[in-house]
Amino acid sequence: MPDRPRRTSRSRSLSRVLALVALLAATTSGCKGAVSRIGWPAPVTKEGRDTLNVWYGSFTTACIVGGIVIVLILWAALWYHRRSPDQLPRQVRYNLPIEVLYTLIPVVIVAVLFYFTAIRENDMDHFKGSKLNVGVVGFQWSWQFNYLNDGLSVTGRPGEPPQLVLPVGEKIHFYETSPDVIHAWWVIPFLFKRDVVPGRVNEFALTVTKTGVFQGKCTEYCGVDHDRMLFTVRAVDQATYQSWLAQAKQIAASGENVALVREGNTLRVVQQGPGQAEPPARERAP
């Protein structure tokens, strides 16, 4: 009889915990947008969706492991707490099966997460099928984008960020290099970033799936004007891209820098004025 009130109290505590967990699950399951993506921006590339799926898997695994740990802590605290000042709990030295189990399970979890992460990274480093090749040169304090298939370059200057125009639905092979210090090329909704290292050519491939203008920046501190190393990416359909490319080549032939501006519902290529002088050969992406 004396144990009944304590067991009732423990049952009520457990019921409250389970009710709280159920409420949180019901609340988050109905969330949309950034909350459903756990704070991540909406991806606009095929590879970005794959990266987000890896994040979902990692976060779900972390929640499951964390939930199990919390339940075990509460269970031990409620069922095995000291019931009287004079009572000494039963002493246990070890339990070999349990110790083996909680050693193997984390190893398996880490191995599975590593496997899917490596698969996604290999996908981004798979360049077969790429028809458009773009060289990215990061320099103090702006960017140059080289359309390697067409002999066209768009160069920015501090205070005049360049714009990289890309077609949607086509795998694009990027080459990165730098003539001075380490930079990092990052377009936020692409959910992808890779360092731009002097004396080295880094490569990756992306396929943009949505049209729009997306902000890009350098995320590796590269000096006093690091905050000015900005650029934009404009993703357009194939017809618009081909039209832009033809106009850009005409403007580039006159030695002027080019930009794409929107006027109402149309896109137009304009001259930005003389850009930075053509970088020496060591600064150019291959």
Alpha carbon 120 to its chain centroid, in Å, reads 12
pLDDT average, residue stretch 218-245: 89
Domains annotated for the chain, with CATH where assigned, are 31-124 (1.10.287.90), 132-278 (2.60.40.420)
Instruction: Place 117 in a pLDDT band, splitting at 50, 70 and 90.
Output: confident
pLDDT average, residue stretch 12-41: 58
With a cut of 90, say whether residue 167 has pLDDT above it: yes
Give CA–CA dist 145/161, Å, rounded.
11
Q: Report the range out of 216-225, 245-254, 264-273 with the highest average pLDDT.
A: 216-225
Instruction: Place 129 in a pLDDT band, splitting at 50, 70 and 90.
Output: confident
With a cut of 90, say whether residue 253 has pLDDT above it: no
pLDDT average, residue stretch 226-247: 90
- Predicted local confidence at residue 168, as pLDDT: 92
Q: Is the dihedral of CA 32, 48, 142, 156 positive or negative?
A: negative
With a cut of 70, say whether residue 101 has pLDDT above it: yes
- Predicted local confidence at residue 257, as pLDDT: 54
pLDDT average, residue stretch 211-227: 89
Give the burial class of 208: count Cβ atoms within 10 A of its Cβ; 0-12 exposed, 13-18 middle, 19 or more buried. buried
Query: Strand pairing of 257-263 and 266-273?
Result: antiparallel
Instruction: Place 80 in a pLDDT band, splitting at 50, 70 and 90.
Output: confident
Instruction: Place 70 in a pLDDT band, splitting at 50, 70 and 90.
Output: very high
Instruction: Place 262 in a pLDDT band, splitting at 50, 70 and 90.
Output: very low
With a cut of 70, say whether residue 37 has pLDDT above it: no
Which percentage of the chain shows pLDDT scores above 70? Answer: 74
Instruction: Give the count of beta carbons closer than 10 Å to the beta carbon of residue 55.
Output: 15
CB 225 within 8 A of CB 205: no
Which percentage of the chain shows pLDDT scores above 90? Answer: 13
Q: Does 12 or 269 have the greater pLDDT score?
A: 12
Mean pLDDT for all residues in the chain: 77
